[in-house]
Structure 1
Amino acid sequence: MKYAKSVGFLFGWIVGLMAFTDLGAQVIPYPLSKMALKGEFELKAGMPIVVEKGLRTEAEFLSNYLKEGFATASPILESGNGIHLRLDENLSDSLGNEGYSMVIDQSIEIVAPTSTGVFYGIQTLKQLLPRDFSNVVSGQVMLSKTIIVDKPRFSWRAFMLDDCRNFMGEEVVKKMLDQMAMLKMNVFHWHLTDDQAWRIEIKKYPKLAEVGGTRKDTQLARGSSERTGKPQTGYYSQDQIREIIQYAEDRHIVIVPEIEMPGHAMAAIAAYPWIGSLGTTQEVPVTFGKMEDSFNVADPRVIGFLKDVLDEVAALFPGEAIHIGGDEVNHDPWMDSESIKDFMRVNGLSTPMDLQIHFTNQISTYLDSKGKRMMGWNDILGHDIHNEPDSSSAKVEQTLEKSSIVHFWKGDLGLVEAAAKDGYEVVNSNHWDTYLDYTYRRLPLSKSYAFDPIPEGLPQVYHGKILGLGTQIWTEYTRTESAMLQQVFPRLLAYAEVGWTFPENKNYGRFLEVVESMKMQLSQMGIKFGDYAGN
């Protein structure tokens, strides 16, 4: 029986029945609508996957997963009976670019307007299979018959890995991409440069990675004089990055690289001291916090250097956005430099924040010329979000380019509304609600789940300016993969549901049931959950 032709009718009908029908706690993120049918469907080992052109990659994902459980390959065919994967562009109005419909009845059929939607339907199907599917010996599993119509609430559902403070490596990145794909998260924000390391090969400036990718030691704890006593080194070649980009693309994930400027730049300056403002930076810092040096953005040679770097970054990463950080810039060396102050006077820049915005707009315009969009933490707007005692933000005259994506992380939530009203698109990563390096006491699972990227009271007319959310793991004091994973999980499951599931369908009690049911399954992948009990 074919249901795809009537998806538009089913969409409205099932949503109307949502309060009365539910298959129970099985899937994260929770779908838009689910309706139980009578009976069960027998999924057998070796059942063919029937696809049309354009869905081969998605079919191979499903085939490989079924083989893991059944130890029998599912052939991929262009016609016949089996699990049907199909595209229908006519569904784009109701399902958008990432939605799908799935019917499990006399057969299994996943239909979507795009291959991304089909891929997400497959992720839902995988979660409907038994949690111990990898140990199936009978050659069959029974699935409850159901109809699911699903699409996301937000288009930007991001996870950020800080690979600078502690280098995680290619296999860890791929493991996180796999988990993001399962959870229908679609943006991997890759923090690749900072004061403590430069992790990306730049062919024109090889010392960035060769020198900037190594530091002699690492601070053990915030404010501590103790060190690990070991050097820390590592970076990604451009060939490795291309491989990871392809790995992400196959999972319908876009990678947004973060190349910090003009602050958080001391690893780069240690490699090429002439690009700094102090003229004294020679080593990659081993401590954390707001560092002393910043790029000398009044020097045309430094601007050329940064454009050269961005040329290679833009050529590597096919996604639209490039993140330039822009946060926690130490303006003191600028104000102590006569040449930089002369540059400010000549260009009519009254404050160091005006200089920063002037620089940021140069970078934004350059990226625009390459078909990219600049993204930065909300410091780039020029507000005093750090409550600096001598802040000059009230006098800032420069205005950030409107094409910029504002990544909110700190300050009064009213700044989100102000940015949206000013025409900026915003990703909300309010640190109190999304920073995964925080303890579970400070950011319990319940608070992660309750987060709403749209601030309370934001007028409906501006809701479209909120692209979605990001959640971030900063790794200053998270030195190992296992420690990082325990900070991330299970809170990543909560953020997946925040980004995908509409508020009326969220239920924390149901969510906790799924978390518990997935705990053992993920532990078999080497993912141990943090101590979230009672949250």
Structure 2
Amino acid sequence: MRRLLLQLPLLLWALMTNAQVKNDVVNAKNIAINWQIIENSYAGTGQFLSVLNLQNNGPIPLGNNNWKLYFNFARKVIAKTVSGEVNIVHVNGDLYYIRPTEKFSPVSNGASVNIEFASGDWAVNYTDAPEGFYLIYDNNPQKPIPITNVKAIPSTSPAQFARNKQDRVPAITPQLIYEENKNIVNLPEKELPKVFPTPVTYKEKPGTFNLDLGINISADPLFIAERKLLKEKLGLLLIPKKAVTSGKSMVLKLDKSLGKEAYVIKINPNSLIIAAADPTGIFYGIQSLFSIFPPQKRGAKVASINIQNALIEDSPRFPFRGLMIDVARNFQTKEEIIKVLDLMGMYKLNVLHFHLIDDEGWRLEIKGLPELTELGSKRGHPLDSNAQHLIPSFGSGPFVDNPHGTGHYSTADFIEILKHANSRHIRVIPEIEAPGHARAAIRSMEARYHRLMKAGEPKAATEYLLQDLNDRSTYRSVQNWNDNVIDPALPSAYHFMEKVSDEIIAMYKAANAPLQTIHFGGDEVPDGAWEGSPSSLAFVKTHPELKDVNGLWVYFYNKLYEMLKQRNLYLSGWEEVGMQPVLTDGKKSYVINPGLADKNIHLNVWNNIIGWGAEDLAYRLANVGYKVILGGVSNFYFDMAYQKSFDEPGYYWGEYADIDKAFNFIPFNSFLNSNKDKFGNTLKEGFYDAKERLTAKGKANIVGLQGLLWSETIKGPKSLEYMIMPKLLGLAERAWAADPIWANEPDSNKRKQLYNRAWSEFVNVVGKKELPRIDAAFETLNYRLPPAGAVVKNGMLHLNIQFPGLTVRYTTDQTEPTKDSPIYTKPIPIKGTVRFRTFDSKGRAGKTSVIHPEENWKANPNQLP
């Protein structure tokens, strides 16, 4: 009895605690959060002011203690500007939490509180908003409670859209879109190029070749796999038919006189011949053949297809035609990557640069290092050092089952991806980020260290350690991490690189896939790294030629270069690999490092942002002797938002980039169409006069072009597809085809006329041929449907579209346009509100636009009268 009486208070306390936790859960589920931009250029600074509104819709007050509200936010919060009697505390990376102070007034049922704060830089669209909110109560710290009722309130005023006083890029409106599209001519299909991307030559001949499944397809033994693929694809288009002796033939022919990846197609009344010197050339010839076919509905087969007789001679301009996909920040499934490979193959892109590793995730199984995926591929709560996962990032939330924050490819998955890429003649370049952007690897190897130390194996514990555990360096990366840089002074860091490289090599061998290089990152190592590392400081003392810890940079990449050379691979990296830090009057800057030039080191050059001063960096690196892949932010970062609009996803720190930015890029003269800076200001005459041009050596070192999709804002396959398509078509044209005529026209007026004609031709091809082809080729592919432009003239509503061939439907009764709504064919009278949206060939709809007759003057919300 005495024992029961002694336990009674404990039982009562437990019951009260459980009741409190239960009530807290109800309370959290009834919290609504709204975020809104107040103004950019706050107080005349390079900051913006925004507000979080927390509303309590539950019966239990939100008190002034006992809770933390976690969230992810890509901007740096200025702590001293926070209002609302709360503190906003930075955890690491983009993770913050809100903690009430004692002065915080409890928020009762139906009440709300505003929390204003300033943040670095600016905000324009909804993907700038904080995300991934979850509540943690002090009395139950292991039970995070997600808050799902979160909204970003659309902006409407100039103060919300203008990033700073220099910003001249207007917020997009139907009227502005109409103006942008006004020079597009709706061309008849018979006037459009028959093959895309544009071939070297296309010569039409009289007559047609009638293709059906009764025709036998013969192939040189070298092309058996391509013959099988051709038959499979034709089987999806044509009705089966018994073979007949018609005298017609289809041949995949070996022609050793042709160059690498080149092909010739000869279409005659009784024969269709695709010739090439290698299977890749045959594969590209097959892709061109399919692009000649008239668009068909998916699943709708026909008895035969008439093909115009022609002679096509073709070869690629650049050997490297790539797409980089980041699966580290937000994961994509194996199935989606295979789908992207199919899309790349259609458009003769031949390199998948696979960004597998970053601060926020390690996505590839490495045998012998299980922590890399057991810990490094997962994100969630709790946040303590013993957690077997990384912390939440990019709104991935508290639970490790979030499919965007958590995920990896097993060895079998990766081998399957490699095999599929090989079948589409795409080589895969794996990227292992180092020495920066390496937090997932660092944390994983630290967990391995503690596991083996606990097991009494100190030698094994330190074998792959990536940081000095006594490092007291103080730094912040661009993404606000303070512990994401590998220590180049540690021999174990190189053991790790060797181990990972050898396991990757083994996977490629198992897949029978080509491996020529491993990409070892190299970008955005923050100032301050290694300055507090005992290992680095001691290493520099014994290697006086390094001068200081900054010398470790070149040392690190020399070691990786030699390591890969021993394995018959070349080194790839970001542009910084070809640079070296120097100190001048105590200030660090980066200059080109000639020591690694002329060693077949391939650099992806991303920094061509107009106004930052490095507009010619790619050319300078190529001229010195580095192999350069052009993938500048201003033209080829597919994660950049298409337009300036609150509801248009993506970043825009480098540029707003629609499909035209890739289309109008001229690889050997990138200055030609770059006449405005990132804020839309026209460049002064002579802006490029001092910039370095390509030499003959430099031109030979430009090996190709690449589109890049960083995934901070990419959640799932639909988001990925929306951001890369149709931009990828602009990349495909520029990477494959020779310079267009307008690029070499010295007269600016004539060049503009030629460009407008070429642009009209291109967008007609996209809208009338390529997008319908994609609709037929894939069950679903969520490419972006551009909104229509609109203008009111004399009481009539005029609409136009970026891609002629797409359908625009409208309503005048306040309802959303559907696939059954009236089709716009000519100007319509406007008396009230009109809603309109774009539809593809399957009836999938884009975003709805709205226009009122009295609002036609609102051409630019940044410049309201």
- Which TM bucket (shorter chain)? 0.7 to 0.9
Cα 1:415–1:66, aligned 2, differ >3 Å: closer, same or farther?
Answer: same
2:724 corresponds to which letter in structure 1?
Answer: V
The correspondence for 1:42, drawn from 196, 210, 216, is 210
Q: CA deviation at 1:206?
A: 1.2
Cα 1:344–1:288, aligned 2, differ >3 Å: closer, same or farther?
Answer: closer
Partner of 2:169: none
Higher mean alpha-carbon deviation, 295-304 vs 135-144, is at 135-144
CA distance in 2, matches of 1:34, 1:227: 50
Equivalent pair of 1:165/1:197 in contact (CA under 8 Å):
yes
Q: CA deviation at 1:277?
A: 3.3
**Deviations, residues 339-374 of structure 1 (Å, cap 9, x unaligned):** 211212322212444211211110111101101011
Q: CA deviation at 1:82?
A: 2.1
Partner of 1:513: 764
Q: Which runs of 5+ in 1 are unaligned?
A: 1-21, 221-225, 282-286
Equivalent pair of 2:198/2:733 in contact (CA under 8 Å):
yes
CA distance in 2, matches of 1:256, 1:532: 32
CA distance in 1, matches of 2:538, 2:396: 41
Structure 2 residue 491 is the aligned partner of structure 1 residue 277: no
2:413 corresponds to which letter in structure 1?
Answer: Q
User: Secondary structure, in 3 states, of the residue corresponding to 2:328?
Assistant: coil
Partner of 1:9: none
Matches within 5 A, 1:116-515: 116-132=280-296, 134-216=298-380, 218-220=392-394, 228-231=397-400, 232-273=405-446, 275-277=465-467, 279=469, 289-293=479-483, 294-317=485-508, 318-347=514-543, 348-382=545-579, 391-393=587-589, 399-400=595-596, 402-410=599-607, 412-441=614-643, 442-456=656-670, 457-504=693-740, 507-515=758-766
Partner of 2:110: none
2:620 corresponds to which letter in structure 1?
Answer: A
Q: CA deviation at 1:229?
A: 4.5
2:379 corresponds to which letter in structure 1?
Answer: R
CA distance in 2, matches of 1:397, 1:465: 16
CA distance in 2, matches of 1:377, 1:391: 23
User: Secondary structure, in 3 states, of the residue corresponding to 2:704?
Assistant: strand
User: Secondary structure, in 3 states, of the residue corresponding to 1:335?
Assistant: coil
Aligned Cα root-mean-square deviation (Å): 2.7
Partner of 1:16: none
Q: CA deviation at 1:74?
A: 9.3
User: Secondary structure, in 3 states, of the residue corresponding to 1:426?
Assistant: strand
Q: CA deviation at 1:218?
A: 4.1
Cα 1:301–1:52, aligned 2, differ >3 Å: closer, same or farther?
Answer: same
User: Secondary structure, in 3 states, of the residue corresponding to 2:338?
Assistant: helix
State how many pairs are aligned.
495
User: Secondary structure, in 3 states, of the residue corresponding to 1:104?
Assistant: strand
Cα 1:160–1:280, aligned 2, differ >3 Å: closer, same or farther?
Answer: farther
Q: CA deviation at 1:467?
A: 0.2
The correspondence for 2:195, drawn from 14, 27, 50, is 27
Equivalent pair of 2:579/2:593 in contact (CA under 8 Å):
no
Q: CA deviation at 1:380?
A: 1.4
Equivalent pair of 1:66/1:73 in contact (CA under 8 Å):
no
CA distance in 2, matches of 1:170, 1:32: 35
Cα 1:73–1:448, aligned 2, differ >3 Å: closer, same or farther?
Answer: farther
User: Secondary structure, in 3 states, of the residue corresponding to 1:492?
Assistant: helix
Equivalent pair of 1:188/1:254 in contact (CA under 8 Å):
yes
CA distance in 1, matches of 2:641, 2:581: 26
**Deviations, residues 161-219 of structure 1 (Å, cap 9, x unaligned):** 11111110111010010011000000010011110000111112111111101011644
CA distance in 2, matches of 1:418, 1:510: 34
Equivalent pair of 1:70/1:134 in contact (CA under 8 Å):
no
CA distance in 2, matches of 1:109, 1:146: 11
Q: CA deviation at 1:338?
A: 2.8
Greater share of residues in helix: 1
1:252 corresponds to which letter in structure 2?
Answer: H
2:721 corresponds to which letter in structure 1?
Answer: L
Q: Which has the larger radius of gyration?
A: 2
Partner of 1:530: 784
Q: Which runs of 5+ in 2 are unaligned?
A: 1-189, 381-390, 450-464, 472-476, 509-513, 609-613, 644-655, 671-692, 743-757, 788-800, 803-865
Structure 2 residue 252 is the aligned partner of structure 1 residue 90: no
CA distance in 2, matches of 1:52, 1:326: 44
**Deviations, residues 216-240 of structure 1 (Å, cap 9, x unaligned):** 16444xxxxx664443211111122
Partner of 1:223: none
User: Secondary structure, in 3 states, of the residue corresponding to 1:316?
Assistant: helix
User: Secondary structure, in 3 states, of the residue corresponding to 2:603?
Assistant: strand
User: Secondary structure, in 3 states, of the residue corresponding to 2:349?
Assistant: coil
CA distance in 1, matches of 2:695, 2:760: 30
The correspondence for 2:235, drawn from 28, 42, 67, is 67
Q: CA deviation at 1:409?
A: 1.0
CA distance in 1, matches of 2:435, 2:469: 15
Partner of 2:4: none
User: Secondary structure, in 3 states, of the residue corresponding to 1:446?
Assistant: helix
CA distance in 2, matches of 1:55, 1:305: 40
**Deviations, residues 274-329 of structure 1 (Å, cap 9, x unaligned):** 63436389xxxxx9815222111101122212211111123323321110011111
CA distance in 2, matches of 1:371, 1:74: 51
CA distance in 2, matches of 1:357, 1:50: 54
Higher mean alpha-carbon deviation, 115-124 vs 458-467, is at 458-467
Cα 1:53–1:366, aligned 2, differ >3 Å: closer, same or farther?
Answer: same
Cα 1:53–1:290, aligned 2, differ >3 Å: closer, same or farther?
Answer: farther
User: Secondary structure, in 3 states, of the residue corresponding to 1:371?
Assistant: coil
Cα 1:308–1:137, aligned 2, differ >3 Å: closer, same or farther?
Answer: closer
Partner of 2:136: none
Partner of 2:836: none
Partner of 1:15: none
User: Secondary structure, in 3 states, of the residue corresponding to 1:154?
Assistant: coil
CA distance in 2, matches of 1:449, 1:141: 31
1:263 corresponds to which letter in structure 2?
Answer: G
Equivalent pair of 1:41/1:105 in contact (CA under 8 Å):
yes
CA distance in 1, matches of 2:557, 2:486: 12
Q: CA deviation at 1:332?
A: 2.0
CA distance in 1, matches of 2:490, 2:661: 45
Equivalent pair of 1:263/1:326 in contact (CA under 8 Å):
yes
CA distance in 2, matches of 1:444, 1:64: 35
User: Secondary structure, in 3 states, of the residue corresponding to 1:214?
Assistant: coil
Provide the TM-score with structure 1 as the length reference. 0.86
CA distance in 1, matches of 2:301, 2:467: 65
Structure 2 residue 273 is the aligned partner of structure 1 residue 109: yes
User: Secondary structure, in 3 states, of the residue corresponding to 1:179?
Assistant: helix
